[in-house]
Structure 1
Amino acid sequence: MRFKIMGWQLAPTALLALCALSVQAQTVRLTMSHFLGPQSFFQVDLLEPWARELERKTGGRVQVDVLNASSPLGNVRKQASQVKDGVVDIALGLRGAEGDRFSRSSIVELPFVVTDAGSGSKALWKLFQDGVIADEYRDFKVLALFVHNPGLIHTKATLVTELADLKGLRLRVPNATVAAALKHVGAVPKLLQPDEIIPALRTNQLDGIVTNWGTPIAGFNDEMTRHTAVPFYASAFFIVMNKARYESLPSDIRRAVDELSGDALVAQFGPLWNKWDQPFQQGAQAPGRVVLRPDTALLQRWRSGLQPVSDAHLAKLESLGFKSARQVYEQLLTPSGGG
């Protein structure tokens, strides 16, 4: 049998080849969302360059629309849900804002586990690659998992030296893991999103913030005058893609996505967070500011004082089915394990 198209006769094999070329020539539009603003470091230094590089690698056959917090799809609590439901194709999200989702990944958020974003991100990614936490991401195509440089104690007026100095302080926290640690030492944790923090500080509802240097909080250095450089925690983040959408893409486009993700993408977060930290660290050196860098003995007192918090969290993870939680935690604390 032969087919006529616009006056030409084509054999079935030629028709199939023509259809395949037509499909491959179609533009693939992908939507990628995140929860910070259009001028944020996530958009300017990470997601926009990633999107443009994917477009370049596919010869323009892929176009990526990056959506931020200014869009209806920028809710920090819904990034993973939007991907799973197919509302967006790809999202960067904050684990701690997703409720009980990705609970095993919270193991890297415990005190003193992460010493820097580079090694911490590689350690979290290795837990995924080794299958330790992979099951909780089974509904997604995972492009990257990462952490920031350690979160510190930042206050308006009180210099925190010992753990006891935290008692009674009202501090913003990013997730329940950090909240549990602060409650343990008598502080008053308040779970607020980035856009809620400065108003709370200015209306005297907060005494400080527990966060990393490279923070998206506008006005951070205007409000914070005391900084205690203890590796109190690290937040876990994810970049995930809708699995069905990924699998529907032509093989060469899937290959381009893979080449820009995984190990190659995770390796960027150490240098990126160091870059993002720099202006805030410099601002903390201004007159009237104090940065306390604890010595080994003081750090050990903090570590010992917070160990019950880690133990309780590990027990909770074990009760939820993460039977190897303590073993994984101890491995993370070794230099080669990411801590």
Structure 2
Amino acid sequence: MTRNFRTTTALAAALLITTAGASAAQNLTMSSWVPSTHFLHTDFFAPFAAQIAEVTEGRVTVTILPAPLGNPAQHWELARTGVADITWGNFTYEPERFVSLWFAEFPNAGTDAEAQSVALWRTYQAHLADLPVFDGVEMLAVGLFGGGQLHHGATQMLTPADIAGQKFRMGGPIQERLLTELGAVPVAAPATRAYEMLESGVIDGSLHTMESVVNFRLEDALTHHTIFPEGLYDAAFFVVMNSARWDSIAPADQAAIEAIAGETLSATWGRQFDAQNPAATEALAAAGHTIAQASPELIGAVDTIYDAMVADWIVAATEAGVPDPATVLGYYVETYAALTAR
């Protein structure tokens, strides 16, 4: 990795004398796969990069690359192998690797993204951080997005009968199972491809948060929105740094970064979505979109699928090395409930 020396040779020598064992000033590269106009770039990643420089007094800086170094599903591996120093992505873009976190994407995970994200961080720290699957990276934050909903381009989806046979874009195994068991046809693709697939007729609808409909500029293609009060599904995200690069940072600067990362950064992630989702809902309603609550029949059908998902996940997570999956899920649910009760 390239190091960025911002001092003169004489000053660098002085620093080496006065800070024995400390790492030299360094620049970290970050690969991100959303455009620079997306709110996650402007309101989350860019400010976090600026904070790192501030709290380390310029000894550690972050350059967000102008283009991603791979597709979204490759970003964990890009960080783990050191191709990029920092990356972010969705855990279940690699579903077999991250079976331990499937529970966070189940239906009814909640619609308070800040509370969700903090609950997931605490669950990760308490029950999952020591699993071998997380080796090779330093976890900087985790996050959820406040409940994904169901969106269609032509008509309202209120009952299981409405959904049957309709083709929906989805992004992971939880969404795939939901759609399949509701009688829909799941089509796997990242959110960044939704517009072209809708325009070409490959799909009839797509699964997104409300903000994603606006931020991925899908409002002309998705005009009917079905709302599940506790979310139809969710998506679990990570922000990670390559472990070797983390270890190369001086302990004092590691401590400074830790103070603005972890639970603090996870909460910040959630707050972004808590601001974006209601604003998007208001904008879509003002544009004349149809926004309706899912029928009790549809919610009941999803609840039945959820119960089966939990039972199957406990078996799969146990096989993946999670010591007590039921306790992990219970800890998340209880933590989220306590946070939202405040």
TM bucket (normalised to shorter chain) is: 0.7 to 0.9
Q: Give the whole-Å Cα distance in 1 for the aligned partners of 2:102 and 2:48.
A: 26
Given that 2:175 and 2:233 are in contact with CA atoms closer than 8 Å, whether structure 1 keeps it comes out as yes
Partner of 2:73: 77
Partner of 1:8: none
Moved more, 254-263 or 327-336: 327-336
1:298 Cα deviation (Å)?
5.9
Given that 1:163 and 1:302 are in contact with CA atoms closer than 8 Å, whether structure 2 keeps it comes out as no
Selected match of 1:189 from 176, 186, 190: 186
Moved more, 198-207 or 51-60: 51-60
Partner of 1:205: 202
* Cα pair distance change 1:240/1:247, threshold 3 Å: same
Selected match of 2:120 from 121, 124, 129: 124
Q: Give the whole-Å Cα distance in 2 for the aligned partners of 1:74 and 1:257.
A: 26
Helix, strand or coil: the match of 1:115?
coil
Partner of 2:277: 277
Q: Give the whole-Å Cα distance in 2 for the aligned partners of 1:93 and 1:199.
A: 21
Q: CA offsets per residue over residues 13-41 of structure 1, 9 Å max, x none?
A: xx998534598694311112222111111
Given that 1:106 and 1:177 are in contact with CA atoms closer than 8 Å, whether structure 2 keeps it comes out as yes
Selected match of 1:108 from 104, 111, 114: 104
Partner of 1:53: 51
Structure 1 residue identity aligned to 2:192: D
Superposed counterparts of 1:11-90, under 5 Å:
19-21=17-19, 26-67=24-65, 70-71=67-68, 73-90=69-86
1:133 Cα deviation (Å)?
4.9
Moved more, 295-304 or 116-125: 295-304
* Cα pair distance change 1:19/1:97, threshold 3 Å: same
* Cα pair distance change 1:242/1:203, threshold 3 Å: same
* Cα pair distance change 1:170/1:53, threshold 3 Å: same
Structure 1 residue identity aligned to 2:223: T
Partner of 1:304: 304
The total of aligned residue pairs comes to 323
Moved more, 211-220 or 167-176: 211-220
Given that 1:104 and 1:133 are in contact with CA atoms closer than 8 Å, whether structure 2 keeps it comes out as no
Q: Does 1:157 align with 2:154?
A: yes
Q: Give the whole-Å Cα distance in 1 for the aligned partners of 2:55 and 2:309.
A: 46
Q: Give the whole-Å Cα distance in 2 for the aligned partners of 1:37 and 1:215.
A: 13
Structure 2 residue identity aligned to 1:147: L
1:241 Cα deviation (Å)?
1.0
Given that 1:30 and 1:89 are in contact with CA atoms closer than 8 Å, whether structure 2 keeps it comes out as yes
Superposed counterparts of 1:285-296, under 5 Å:
285-286=285-286, 288-294=288-294
* Cα pair distance change 1:109/1:338, threshold 3 Å: farther
Identity in percent:
24
Given that 1:127 and 1:134 are in contact with CA atoms closer than 8 Å, whether structure 2 keeps it comes out as no
Q: Does 1:142 align with 2:139?
A: yes
Helix, strand or coil: the match of 1:222?
coil
* Cα pair distance change 1:41/1:261, threshold 3 Å: same
1:316 Cα deviation (Å)?
2.4
Given that 1:144 and 1:262 are in contact with CA atoms closer than 8 Å, whether structure 2 keeps it comes out as yes
* Cα pair distance change 1:108/1:271, threshold 3 Å: same
* Cα pair distance change 1:82/1:39, threshold 3 Å: same
Selected match of 1:220 from 212, 218, 237: 218
- What CA RMSD, in Å, does the superposition of the two structures yield over aligned residues? 2.6
* Cα pair distance change 1:140/1:20, threshold 3 Å: same
1:276 Cα deviation (Å)?
2.3
Given that 1:157 and 1:226 are in contact with CA atoms closer than 8 Å, whether structure 2 keeps it comes out as yes
* Cα pair distance change 1:179/1:275, threshold 3 Å: same
1:295 Cα deviation (Å)?
6.8
Residue ranges of structure 2 left out of the alignment (5+ in a row):
1-12
1:249 Cα deviation (Å)?
1.1
* Cα pair distance change 1:310/1:165, threshold 3 Å: farther
1:92 Cα deviation (Å)?
1.2
Given that 1:57 and 1:256 are in contact with CA atoms closer than 8 Å, whether structure 2 keeps it comes out as yes
Helix, strand or coil: the match of 1:195?
helix
1:146 Cα deviation (Å)?
0.8
Larger RCO, structure (CA 8 Å, separation 6 or more): 2
1:261 Cα deviation (Å)?
0.5
Residue ranges of structure 1 left out of the alignment (5+ in a row):
1-14
- TM-score for the superposition, normalised by structure 2: 0.85
